[in-house]
Amino acid sequence: MNLFADRIAELGTENAFKMGPHIVRVENDGHQVIRLNLGEPDFNIPEYVKTEIKHQLDSNNTHYCDPKGLVSLRKAISKQMKEMRGLDISPERIVIFPGGKPAIGFCQEVYCNRGDEVIYP
């Protein structure tokens, strides 16, 4: 009897992580590389962001928020969309994602059916 499900044998690593050793090898060969594999910025966190993070931690704002994102942020986006693009979008119809990958996955769930062919670079 196996401790793990059979599908565990199919698990690999994400392509973004597979690229790491290749990137290091190219850099070690003396080439300059712009790393786009992990979405990690090539700059340090600005001081005003650090200050705000410290403020939020000191305010005990350390818990999960609404899964759709902070209401105040969704309201601000709704207002900006109205002012800049003339679009009247309710904050209830706005969702904030924690990065690009969940948004891509969500779009696949919305637009793709099982068995659909998807071309992805």
Residue 85 to residue 3: CA distance in whole angstroms? 55
Within 1-121, strands assigned E span none
Q: What is the pLDDT of residue 75?
A: 98
| pLDDT-based confidence at residue 18 (cuts at 50, 70, 90) | confident
Q: What is the pLDDT of residue 38?
A: 80
Q: What is the pLDDT of residue 99?
A: 83
Residue 97 to residue 66: CA distance in whole angstroms? 11
Higher pLDDT pick, 79 / 109: 79
Taking 80 as the threshold, does the pLDDT of residue 12 lie above it? no
Rounded average pLDDT over 84-106: 92
**pTM value > 0.75:** no
Instruction: Give the pair of three-digit tokens for residue 117.
Output: 């062919």
Instruction: Give the pair of three-digit tokens for residue 16.
Output: 């973004």
